[in-house]
Amino acid sequence: MSKLSGIDEWLQRRLPELLAEHGVPGAAVAVSAGGEVVEHAAGVLSKATGVEATVDSVFQIGSITKVWTVTLLMQLADEGLLDVDAPVRRYLPEFTLADDGAAAAITVRQLMCHTAGFEGDIFTDTGRGDDCVEKYVATLGGVAQLFAPGELFSYNNAGYCVLGRIVEVLRGKPYDECMREHLFTPLGLTHAANGPYEAILFRAAVGHVQPGPDAEPVPAPVWALARSNAPAGSMLAMNPRSLLAFARMHVQGGRAADGTVVLSEGSVAAMRQRQVDVPCAGLMGDAWGLGWELFDWAGGPVIGHDGGTIGQSAFLRVVPGADVAVALLTNGGNPFGPYREIIPHVLRELAGVEVPALPVPPAEPRPVDASRYVGTYASEVSELTVSQDGDGRVWLDLTPRGLMAELGGQPERNELVHLHGDVFLPVQPQLGVHMPQVFVGDDGAGRARYVHSGRATRRV
DSSP secondary structure code for residue 229 in this structure:
G
Please, which residues bridge with residue 52 across strands? 44
Residue 63 annotated as catalytic:
yes
Instruction: Using DSSP, state whether 405 is helix, strand or coil.
Output: helix
Closest by Cα among 356, 354, 407, 417 to 381:
407
Inter-residue contact 116 to 156 (CB < 8 Å):
yes
First to last CA, the chain: 60
DSSP secondary structure code for residue 444 in this structure:
S
Residue 130 and residue 172: Cα distance in Å, rounded?
12
Inter-residue contact 349 to 39 (CB < 8 Å):
no
Annotated active-site residue in 46, 63, 154, 228: 63
Residues in the chain: 460
Inter-residue contact 284 to 70 (CB < 8 Å):
no
Put residue 352 in one of left, alpha, beta given phi > 0 → left and psi -120 to 50 → alpha: left
Inter-residue contact 159 to 166 (CB < 8 Å):
no
Instruction: Using DSSP, state whether 70 is helix, strand or coil.
Output: helix
Residues forming the active site: 63
